[in-house]
Each structure stands twice: as structure tokens, then as C-alpha cells.
Amino acid sequence: MELRLDGKVALVTGASRGIGRAIAGAMADAGASVMLSSRKADDLDVAVAEIGGDTASFAANAGAPDAAAACVAATVERFGSVDVLVNNAATNPYMGAAIDIDLPRWDKTFEVNLRGLFVWSQEAWRASMKERGGAIVNIASIGGLSSGGGIGVYNTTKAAVIHLTKVLASELGHGVRVNAIAPGLVKTDMARALWEGNEEAFGRHLPTGRLGEPADIANAALFLASDAASWITGQTLVVDGGALIAASR
């Protein structure tokens, strides 16, 4: 099956590296016009140059509502619409027992991972999807389906993302499909503290025998954004190499 997004416009947050960069590249390769967004303009310039195709960038803090509105507006101005929104940007400023977190880092995690995701969805809906329809893909985590691991506050935001995905899928009805992806441990810079130095050991415990690569998540996002998934909404696709089933053995 060849998944195509010809004639579609995709906006990807957290797109300068890692999973977001891979998703942006996959969607551009599938024929979409793609707006890449993240905080650092220089990193975005590099990503756009590497991806090529009909791409552009807009630097924006994913947790700032005004920045989200400006980026969505710039996407519509540049490409005419927002047909696909990928809410990938996230932060994890704290590792340790959830009960010990300070409120500023609690607030920051929720500001970016949950409130930010909602604001970007709201702006895309108001600016384009309410009239034209579209697809939203939220990047959650298998941490939102389990507990433990020393990143409980981050995982709590991802559990909320999974529930919000269902809420938005129900509310936005016929025109906009809303789905989520729950990745397992993927080899990204953000997750480096979790896997670096332990990659081989972690991989041995997975049924697939390896950790995830950004391309594994990008392939799932492309599927959910494409017409091949036209009868799928409100769902969370687990892409974890079998980590959840391994944990239950």
C-alpha cells in the first residue's frame, strides 16, 4: 500500500529533530506541503533544507497560545489550509517521583504537553478544519497507558492526551478525524537519558528485538493522516515494539 498526501497541507510541531523531523519528512515524501515548527529557527532551517520538497518553517514555542495562532495563520497564508496537524511537541523537565515535583515544572509539563496540544488543535480547527475537514494526529506515549519509570508527571500528561483524543474525535464529528500514537522507547535526543548505554539490553527484552527509530512513528503518523485510515478516529495506535505485552508476561 502506498500512502499519499498529495494536495494536502501538514503542520508538524516539534519538527526540527527526532520523531517530528521524521514525520515531517515522511509527509513531504508522500506529496504534502509541510510547515515545520519548533522553538529554534536555526534547527528548523537545517531540517527544511534536508527534507526539501514544498516545505517551510515557523519558529514557535508549542506552549505559547499566541505562537500557535501565529504559526497556524502563517501556514494558511503560505499553503492555503491546514489539512493535517501533528501535535508532536512535548517537554519533560523533571525525572523522579511524581510526588516530589515542584509546581513550576509540573505546570510547564502540562502547559506544553496537554494545554499546548489543545490550543494548536483549536487554532487549526478555527482557521481551516472547521470548513475543510482534516486529520489530527497526537503523539502520546505508552507511559500514558501504564505507570512507573520515573517520569510519572510526563506520563500523566500523555494519559490525558489519549483521553483528549477521544473527546475531540467525538466532538469534531464527520469532518475531522483525531487519533493518537503511543510510542514506546524511541532513540531520540529527548529520550537519550532513558536508552543511551542500555540500548542492547532494552532491545533484548522486546519481542521485536530492538528499540524504536523515529521512522517507525513517522510511518504510523502517515497512515493515520492518509485516506487509508478514513474510517479510524478516536483511537490510540500503540507502536512500541511489543513493550507493553513484554511487561505483562
Enzyme catalytic residues? 154
Q: Is the Cβ–Cβ distance between 164 and 139 less than 8 Å?
A: no
What is the four-CA torsion angle of 57, 58, 64, 65, rounded to 10 degrees? -100
Tell me the CA end-to-end span of the chain in Å, nearest whole number.
33
- What whole-number distance in Å separates Cα of residue 192 and Cα of residue 180? 23
204 half-sphere exposure, CB direction, 13 A CA radius: 3
Is residue 58 within 8 Å of 37, Cβ to Cβ?
yes
| Cα–Cα distance, 18 to 183 (Å, whole number) | 13
Beta-strand runs (E) in the chain: 9-13, 33-38, 55-59, 84-87, 134-139, 176-183, 236-239
